[in-house]
Structure 1
Amino acid sequence: MKKKIAFFSVGIVLAAAVIFSVYWFMNKGEEKADVSVSAAGGGNLLVSITDTDLLTKYYLNDKVLHEDKLTSYPAFALDQQHDVLYYTGNNDQNEMRLFKLDLKSNKKSTLYKGVESADSLFLSKDQTKIYFRLGSPDESNFRLASFDLKTKRYENVFPAADDQDDSVSSFFYNSDKDSLALLHYSVEEDYKKTDEANEKGTDPEPTKIHFAAGNQNGIDELTSLDQFISDIAVSADGKSILFTSYVEKGAEQTAKINLMNVKTKKYEPIISDQKDFTLLIDAQPQFSKDGKTIYFLAEAKGAKLLKDETGREAKVRTVYSYNTETKKCQKVWENPNGIINSYSVVK
């Protein structure tokens, strides 16, 4: 249940101030991307894409903030003033690095280095710490941690430091409420169900996924589901949760995006495959700031097939929006020359 590190890891995006379409050139004018950005709910889009040469580019709306050779899963966060970009990368010895890039001076510094892996960066509301998913050196389990930008040290948040079985599969930081929501599961149960399926020659049964929420001082359980679930996001008011669930039958996978009421724990599917697109099992849905729009990642019908320098192939991913009032979906962001890794809607 760890995030994939490579050209074809997944992500999602979006919001901006006005509906518009723009064209821009990348790679010194050689690469042209067609982009349409829908801004329902306000905010700015921070997104990374990786091209076929494994070059990762970080965008704020249509502006390239930084580009770097992909060496690991490209996790990143931007400060509220849009002056500092934080992102991860690995060196030649495959050691993880957390970088700070001053976008005005282009000065880059290393904040942390270690044998662990890190992904899903979120900058705290007071901009004093970064929340991230920290993987053990052997990636046997993952936990939620915070990194203090002043002391340059990280602190374990969840699960307990001595718990080697519980693993965090996904988390989300709500800056409006200064709160956290996460998904976690038992590594032992996951291995057991995989082994049983291999012995029987059947599709594996889903491992129980636990939903939890809280803050750095404490995380409380919300509910649990016996389903394959890949991600979680929370509305700005903290009242609703989005998550992607999926089913597997042989090589076929079918996903749907669900909306859960935090108070009642009741949920319902709201987005599934349509004639124009197929949801990814890691659709990474996210609310706009006003909660009226939900963004998600899917493969458009007839999506372009790309091949990276290692020979791996994947189809271009597109960000769609779902209007919670009209229940209609529309295409809002696409780059035909790269693969979207991940995104966040920033103020």
Structure 2
Amino acid sequence: MKKVLVFLLAAVILVAGAFAAVRYFVPEKAEPAKSGGSDLLVSITDQKLMTAYYENQNKLYEEKMTDYPAMVLDRKKRILYYTNTDNSNVKHLIRLDLQSGKKTTLYSGDEYVDGLSLSADDSKLFMRYNLAEERNFHLASFDLKQKAFHVIYPSLKNKDESVSYYQYNKANNQFAMLHYSLKEDYQKTDEANSKGVPPEPTNMNISLADEKDQEKVRTIAKFINDVAISPDGKTIVFTESADDQKAIYAMDAETKKYKAIISDQRAFSLVDSAQPQFSKDGKKLYFLAEAKDAKLLEDETGSEARVRTIYSYDMDTNKVSKAWEKTNGIINTFTVIDE
């Protein structure tokens, strides 16, 4: 269904082609990329389906992709973790030592992994996790020593609840999660199809969790695609996308009241999943959007997409400015990596 796939498909120039053409880089300047205050890790795919990983202006690595890439950077040890899928549809979780260029495959199999985060003690990776025979996604961890997955939420017995997005906050070892009922989502889709009308939004649950417990904050009947929480835990943000009207909302974690703070403007249009993320001090909110004059790119499969830009929003002044941009590729995903 759409909500299950939105994180996978929202940002990439979608892929076909060989699992090949691997290149390792000495840091190289991006053009005309720039950092807007916070340090950023960015994944971007060009028209030949080469996906490059940037740390601010520095290109770390590049490889031809056959699926949506997920990534996280261990800055202290200079380790890049990322995912890829080969032509046999086998999924891989890979560890790349950026200093030596040594690449190690940590996992290969049918389980689907995306949305990587590194735990505060660097001992495990967090991720969205999907078993090949199941429809719903889980929040899970992968122990880097034992090379084993552990499901956090929902339990493997739960075949209905699905995690569509999450964000990990290293400062307090906490997750902000967006999850929903597959049964409800299918039912609303079927009802809409039978009546020939657009589907009503499924109830989306926003929760805060750690590795043991989960607490629901609020349920909202909107087409919500992502979620994030401020470093102080007081503000939750999410992107709504419905009928070509997109907005990023800010919700008071205590009162549960929310309001739109960023919407489409003359200078840019939000993407379905704007991936809002706070700077370490909580003063800026970074998000993905398409500039009004964004270049249209076509990949080797004929798929078209417009160049995306990472913007920053000042929480005090409401001023929006460009933070990172590169005109010969499409940003898949990004992470604020202030530490």
* Unaligned residue ranges in structure 2 (runs of 5+): 15-23
Q: Deviations over 1:123-154 (max 9, x none)?
A: 00000010000123156211110000110001
Structure 1 residue 106 corresponds to structure 2 residue 101: yes
User: Residue type of the partner of 1:282?
Assistant: S
User: Residue type of the partner of 1:273?
Assistant: D
**Whole-Å separation in 2 of the counterparts to 1:219 and 1:299:** 35
Query: Is the CA contact (8 Å cut-off) linking 1:7 and 1:54 kept in structure 2?
Result: no
Query: Is the CA contact (8 Å cut-off) linking 2:120 and 2:171 kept in structure 1?
Result: yes
User: Residue type of the partner of 2:42?
Assistant: V
Determine which of 13, 20, 34 is the counterpart of 1:8. Answer: 13
**Whole-Å separation in 2 of the counterparts to 1:81 and 1:240:** 29
Counterpart in the other structure of 1:341: 332
Query: Is the CA contact (8 Å cut-off) linking 1:111 and 1:152 kept in structure 2?
Result: yes
Determine which of 75, 78, 82 is the counterpart of 1:83. Answer: 78
Query: Is the CA contact (8 Å cut-off) linking 1:185 and 1:208 kept in structure 2?
Result: yes
Moved segments of 4+, more than 3 Å: none
Note the C-alpha offset of 1:27: 9.9
Write out aligned runs for 1:137-286 (5 A): 137-138=132-133, 140-248=135-243, 253-286=244-277
Query: Is the CA contact (8 Å cut-off) linking 1:48 and 1:57 kept in structure 2?
Result: yes
**TM-score, with normalisation over the residues of structure 2?**
0.91
User: Residue type of the partner of 1:281?
Assistant: D
**Whole-Å separation in 2 of the counterparts to 1:264 and 1:161:** 32
Counterpart in the other structure of 1:291: 282
**Whole-Å separation in 1 of the counterparts to 2:323 and 2:125:** 29
**Whole-Å separation in 2 of the counterparts to 1:292 and 1:282:** 21
User: Residue type of the partner of 2:264?
Assistant: D
User: Residue type of the partner of 1:156?
Assistant: V
* Unaligned residue ranges in structure 1 (runs of 5+): 10-25
Counterpart in the other structure of 2:17: none
**Whole-Å separation in 1 of the counterparts to 2:49 and 2:77:** 25
Structure 1 residue 306 corresponds to structure 2 residue 306: no
Q: Deviations over 1:206-248 (max 9, x none)?
A: 0000111121111121110011100011111222111001222
Query: Is the CA contact (8 Å cut-off) linking 1:180 and 1:214 kept in structure 2?
Result: yes
Query: Is the CA contact (8 Å cut-off) linking 2:177 and 2:209 kept in structure 1?
Result: no
Note the C-alpha offset of 1:37: 2.1
Note the C-alpha offset of 1:80: 3.6
Counterpart in the other structure of 2:34: 36
**Whole-Å separation in 2 of the counterparts to 1:325 and 1:196:** 44
User: Residue type of the partner of 1:142?
Assistant: F
**Whole-Å separation in 1 of the counterparts to 2:185 and 2:287:** 27
**Whole-Å separation in 2 of the counterparts to 1:247 and 1:235:** 25
Query: Is the CA contact (8 Å cut-off) linking 2:13 and 2:49 kept in structure 1?
Result: no
User: Residue type of the partner of 1:169?
Assistant: S
Query: Is the CA contact (8 Å cut-off) linking 1:87 and 1:100 kept in structure 2?
Result: yes
**Whole-Å separation in 2 of the counterparts to 1:204 and 1:221:** 25
Task: Select the structure that is richer in strand.
Answer: 1
Note the C-alpha offset of 1:32: 6.9
User: Residue type of the partner of 2:319?
Assistant: K
User: Residue type of the partner of 2:73?
Assistant: L
Counterpart in the other structure of 2:18: none
